[in-house]
Structure 1
Amino acid sequence: MPQEYPYQDAFNRMLADRSMATATHDEYTSTLKDFFHYLENFNPTYQRDHRVNQLQTPDVEQYLAMLVDARQIQNQTYNKILSHLNVYFKFLFSHRWTPYLPTLDLKSKPKQAAQPVNYRWVDTLDDFLADQRLHVYTRLTLLLIAHGYPVQVFLQPDFTAKLSTTDWTAADQAFLQEFRAFVTPLQDRFQTGDWFLKQRAAADPHLTLPGLHKYLKPDERIIGFALSPTVLYQGYLVNYLRRHPQKTDREVVATLHLEPDSIDYYRRLAQRAD
């Protein structure tokens, strides 16, 4: 299996030795995949020869600044991503695979007051699916999250091969018919049944998370709230918990495929939701 970022196999072995939760391990993978996807597309230092040992502090700062400006991440998320990158570069440095510690001088951000989670968007999904002003990828993102799929799942190749939509609503089906008219020519061109595809020729036709944000960000002005898939997914989880207060923690964890240690966090969010 090809590596999705430099020294992935060795770094994964180190993470495995720490006996961390699967969800935490997946967060490291997601951060590093996104970081190097960004570098491949926007960072001249990395684009020249794809050598991780050339990356320095300004290269990491550029990525973090994009997360704040383009994706509007909260300080808590910023600090978590910086922590992931710091662990990774310390690992490389300890093995002499890079002479630099580009995260050494980067500081975490102060803790912010908790922002109310927008969970109401799920209740008006039908209106958003029918809104022709929104890009089809924006509407598809909302649809899949409202069915419980986080972005790291539905951007994976072959996701749609395992997806059943037969019991989805009439509004969902109407949108899917519109979406298929959009995506079928792309699927034919790239010879794939996947849904999130680039619209230009590419060695890998699959849309990355930064690529998806290019569609989501402009639509925020139309829809009136943040379209970060992570924040939308939080809203979905809060909405579910508010709609099913009688369900036990075990039932919720099984239904939503959550890590058991995260259920208390989302229950608190649901209780604080106005």
Structure 2
Amino acid sequence: MSLDYPYQDAFNRQLAERAMADATRAEYTATLKDFFHYLENFNPTYQREHRVNQLQTQDVEQYLAMLVDSRQIQNQTYNKVLSHLNVYFKFLFSHNWTPYLPTLDLKSKPKEAAQSVNYRWVDRLDDLLADRRLHVYTRLTLLLVAQGYPVQSFLKPGVTAQLDPSAWPASAQTFLQEFRAFILPLQQRFQCDDWFLKQRAAADPHLTLPGLHKYLRPDEAITGFALSPTVLYQGYLVNYLRRHPQETDREVVSALHLPPDSIDYYRRLSQRAD
């Protein structure tokens, strides 16, 4: 079985010795897999020889800058990723597998002040769907989030192809007519019925989250609010809770398909929302 990143087996043994929870080990794997995938595609130092012992501080900085600029990660996520990379490179250094500690001079970011959640965008959905200045992928994202789909769901291959929007509101039906005219040639080219597809030839035609952000970010100048799908989804959840204050936790969990332990968090957000 091929490894997702250098020295993966040895590093996993180290994590196991620390009695780390399976979910936490999975987070390390996801971080390091993504880090080295990025290096393979965008970092000339690593592309030349694929040698981890050649990586230096600027190589890690480049990856972290991409996370901030392209994926719009928050400071909390930034610090977690940096912590994962720091533990990994300290492990390599302790075994003399790298002469450098490329994370040594990198600092974590300050904790961000709590911000109010924008939940009002959901009430503007009809106007947003009709605004042709917004890219169709931007409007499709808004529509799907307003239907209760988080981004990790609707970007997954096979999900949107199975959706039945027949019961969605009239504004959605009008937009979907426009959207189908846009997406049909791409679906025919790639022989794929999903809704988020790349516009250039690719082995995998599905649009990635960083790819989606390339459409969303420019449109923020038009909407006047953040279009990060994660932030939009928070706003949708808060909007729902404000509209249904009498629903029990069980009813909310059922309606929103949320894990029960997250209900209190979103209720507090809805109570703080101005």
Q: Does TM, scored on the shorter chain, surpass 0.5? A: yes
Please, what is the CA RMSD of the aligned residues? 3.2
TM-score when scaled to structure 2? 0.82
Q: Does 1:243 align with 2:239?
A: no
Determine if contact 1:126/1:171 at 8 Å carries over to the other structure: yes
Partner of 2:143: 143
* Change over 3 Å in CA distance of 1:46–1:249 after alignment to 2: farther
Stretches of structure 2 that go unaligned for 5 or more consecutive residues are none
Query: Matches of residues 1-274 of structure 1 in structure 2 within 5 Å?
Result: 5-6=4-5, 18-19=20-21, 35=35, 38-48=38-48, 54-86=54-86, 102-274=102-274
Count of residues in correspondence between the two structures: 270
* Change over 3 Å in CA distance of 1:246–1:111 after alignment to 2: same
* Change over 3 Å in CA distance of 1:208–1:50 after alignment to 2: farther
Note the C-alpha offset of 1:209.
1.1
* Change over 3 Å in CA distance of 1:161–1:39 after alignment to 2: same
1:166 is paired with a residue whose SS is helix
Stretches of structure 1 that go unaligned for 5 or more consecutive residues are none
Note the C-alpha offset of 1:80.
3.4
Distance in 2 between the 1:177 and 1:98 partners? 56
Distance in 2 between the 1:247 and 1:27 partners? 34
- The share of aligned pairs that are identical, in percent, is 80
Instruction: Write out per-residue CA displacement over residues 52-105 of structure 1, whole angstroms, 9 at most, x where no aligned residue.
Output: 665443222112223334454432332234345445666777898877654444
* Change over 3 Å in CA distance of 1:180–1:249 after alignment to 2: same
Distance in 2 between the 1:257 and 1:7 partners? 37
Instruction: Write out per-residue CA displacement over residues 173-226 of structure 1, whole angstroms, 9 at most, x where no aligned residue.
Output: 111111111011111111111111111111111111111111111111111111
Note the C-alpha offset of 1:127.
0.6
Note the C-alpha offset of 1:31.
5.2
Determine if contact 1:150/1:230 at 8 Å carries over to the other structure: yes
